[in-house]
Structures are given as C-alpha cells and as structure tokens.
Amino acid sequence: MASFKWNLKALPFGNQSVIYHLDGSFFRENEPTRIFAANVDVDFSISRKSEQDYELAMDCHGTLNIECDRCLEEMVHVVDVRYELSVRQEGSDYDDSNEHVLVVPSSWRELDVEPLVRDTVLLTIPIMHHHDDGECNSEMMDALGRHSVTHASENEEDNNDGEAAIDPRWEALQKLKKNN
C-alpha cells in the first residue's frame, strides 16, 4: 500500500496522485459502525500551491460490509464520494474546525492523511442503515420481533387499568415501525 504520510516540506510544486486500496484491515475494531469487510479504492491527489498551501482531493469508490440496524446481519453499503480539502501550514496550532480548510503547524514536516481518508469513507454511512425492505434476515427479525412483542404484552398487563396509560407518542412510533 502506498504511504499515507506525505512530506510536505519536500513536496514538489504541482500535482501528485496515488491510489489507496482499503480493505477490512484498514478499519479499526472501535469504529462507530461495525465493518465486516471493505473494498474501497481511493483516488488521492495532493497538489502543492505555494510554500505553505496544499490542495487535497480524494475520490472514494467501493463497498463496505456493515451491520444492518434492523436484523444485525451483514449488509453492503456503497461508497461513492469525493472530498476536497485545503491544507495550510501556519503558526503553531492544529485546527480542523473548518470543514474545507485544515491548518497544520508550520513546523510539521509530514502530513498523515490516513485519518482523513478513513473519516471521509466512514462519513458516507448513514446514521440509520439497513437492508432494503424485505431483505433482512427473516429468522433474525422474528427473534427480535418476538422479543419486543413479549415486552409490549407485559406492559399492557401492567397498565390494564386504563387506555390512557399508553403514551400516544409511543403508539404512533409502534405504528410507524409496523409500516416500515
């Protein structure tokens, strides 16, 4: 694999590009979402504009095998994203608060783009992600469904002194879930 570390000071003016191929081992165990496998190509380029200004661009295409929120089985998530970022060497502080301009200390010789590549790919995963309707593992769904039905009937027994005990918001949520 091509190095993720770029020697900023020694970089010639103009454009350098490289392809990073990301597989499952690129992603750590403590990602926000479980990654079973990955097959993503990143067309990465870094362009030096001046003594202290650089432009990065990454085109990421491929697939991640992640955990479905509904049935907890493996599902395929398609990655198709381009991210551009300006890097400026200035002062003594690292500042990544701006989405489009990263400021790194002028003393830095090297820029490690590995975390930038990783975050760019991971941010394509929606907070809620699941198989298309009807494509979840039905055995798993049955098991999970039985579990929540049991809970619902227990609650009904506890609250059988009046219909008002059921929070209307909860009821609406249950209906929404069924329709999904």
Binding site for Zn ion (CB under 5 A): 68, 70-71, 131, 136
Tell me whether residue 99 or residue 132 sits nearer to Zn ion (CB atom). 132
Rounded least distance, CB 122 to Zn ion, Å: 20
Q: Are strands 101-104 and 110-112 parallel, antiparallel or unpaired?
A: unpaired
Residues 173 and 104 sit within 8 Å (Cβ to Cβ): no
Cα angle, residue 62 at apex, residues 81 and 137 outer, rounded to 5°: 110
Rounded least distance, CB 175 to Zn ion, Å: 21
Tell me whether residue 88 or residue 129 sits nearer to Zn ion (CB atom). 129
Tell me whether residue 121 or residue 136 sits nearer to Zn ion (CB atom). 136
Tell me whether residue 48 or residue 70 sits nearer to Zn ion (CB atom). 70
Long-range CB contacts (within 8 A, 24+) of 155-162? none
Rounded least distance, CB 78 to Zn ion, Å: 16
Rounded least distance, CB 172 to Zn ion, Å: 23
Residues 117 and 58 sit within 8 Å (Cβ to Cβ): yes
Tell me whether residue 31 or residue 135 sits nearer to Zn ion (CB atom). 135
Sheet strands (E) in the chain: 5-7, 14-23, 35-48, 53-67, 74-89, 101-104, 110-112
Rounded least distance, CB 94 to Zn ion, Å: 40
